[in-house]
Amino acid sequence: MTHLRREAPWRLPLAAAMTVMTLASCSNSSPMPRPSAHAPSPTSRATGSPSLVAGGPGDPALLPVPSPVPIAQAPRALLEEWHPYADGGVLTLIPDTSVPYSRPAVPTLTDGTGGATDQPTEHRWAEAFMREQAWENWAINHAQIDFVTSDIISAAAAETGLYLPEGATGLRVTGNRWPSAVRIVRVPQPAASSPPLSTSDGYAVLATYQQGWSVVAVFPDGHTTALSQQVDEPGEVDYFIGHLDASKRQLGELWFATVAGNCGGHVPTVVAQLCSA
């Protein structure tokens, strides 16, 4: 089970409060602000309702935004901050500031590298993985699919089966799409250079999803259909071969997956080796 932690009471500085009120006024948002990125407050999410972790190393420092703002209504300051993604059309909403913090703390973390990395490095990678999952969950639930499939938070090749079916009005995460355990492993070499892995990255995150989850398409009449490649049954394990990406200031440090998949069923030998590490 994911270990959560709650933060101590927090008071918004006067300058930050004035900034939030100004941005909220410009974007017709509620005048009651959430805290800035440096000290988020608890919130509730459909993907497991996690408590928020504290802002710290690896987390982005962003202008405070109380709730998602449509690009067409965003004030200039927000457009300038998010221009790499707003200008390219991969975002139609400016995310609320709490998104990268809307994640549980790193769950049970184990080393499968045989000591090739140290504990602080592995914890940093696990935090980056959880942060990437937070961005991904938000994007799915807010119809920002291009943000997930455009090589921004992970490679498009690692996001197979995530699409909006014809006639659907949006997607939604159901169940608990947060791992209950994370294991850092080395990628088998030289087999990693051949399909289905075909990667130069040397490490992977193995994530166990104890409660199971799915991404469902929502249709106008209210019925939903699960996307066949976006389902994990309780206890299943997924692998995410990748590396730490600290190049995207607005997003914070991410575990940028270049190849990902499920460890279950009849998998190629190299995948079985990876998943059993």
Number of domains in the chain: 1
Which two structure tokens, joined as six digits, stand for 102? 């809307």
pLDDT reported for residue 246: 96
Residue 4: inside a domain: no
Query: Residue 55 — pLDDT band, cuts 50, 70, 90?
Result: low
Per-residue pLDDT of 96-126, as tens digits, reads 999 998 889 999 999 999 999 999 999 999 9
Query: Residue 271 — pLDDT band, cuts 50, 70, 90?
Result: confident
Residue 2: inside a domain: no
Which of 112, 270, 259 is closest to 181 using CA atoms? 112
Q: Is the pLDDT assigned to residue 8 strictly greater than 50?
A: no
- The whole-angstrom separation of Cα 138 and Cα 58 is 18
Q: Is the pLDDT assigned to residue 175 strictly greater than 50?
A: yes
Q: Look up the domain containing 42 and give its range.
A: 14-275
Residue 82: inside a domain: yes
pLDDT reported for residue 87: 86
Query: Residue 265 — pLDDT band, cuts 50, 70, 90?
Result: confident
Residue 7: inside a domain: no
Residue 120: inside a domain: yes
Rounded mean pLDDT of 259-275? 88
Residue 8: inside a domain: no
pLDDT reported for residue 60: 93
Residue 5: inside a domain: no
Residue 9: inside a domain: no
**Euclidean distance between the first and the last CA atom of the chain, given in angstroms as a whole number:** 21
The answer to whether 188 and 270 are in contact (CB under 8 A) is yes
- What is the reported pTM? 0.81
Rounded mean pLDDT of 7-23? 39
Cβ-proximal residues to 249 (8 Å cutoff; 6+ apart), any chain: 60
Q: Is the pLDDT assigned to residue 26 strictly greater than 60?
A: no
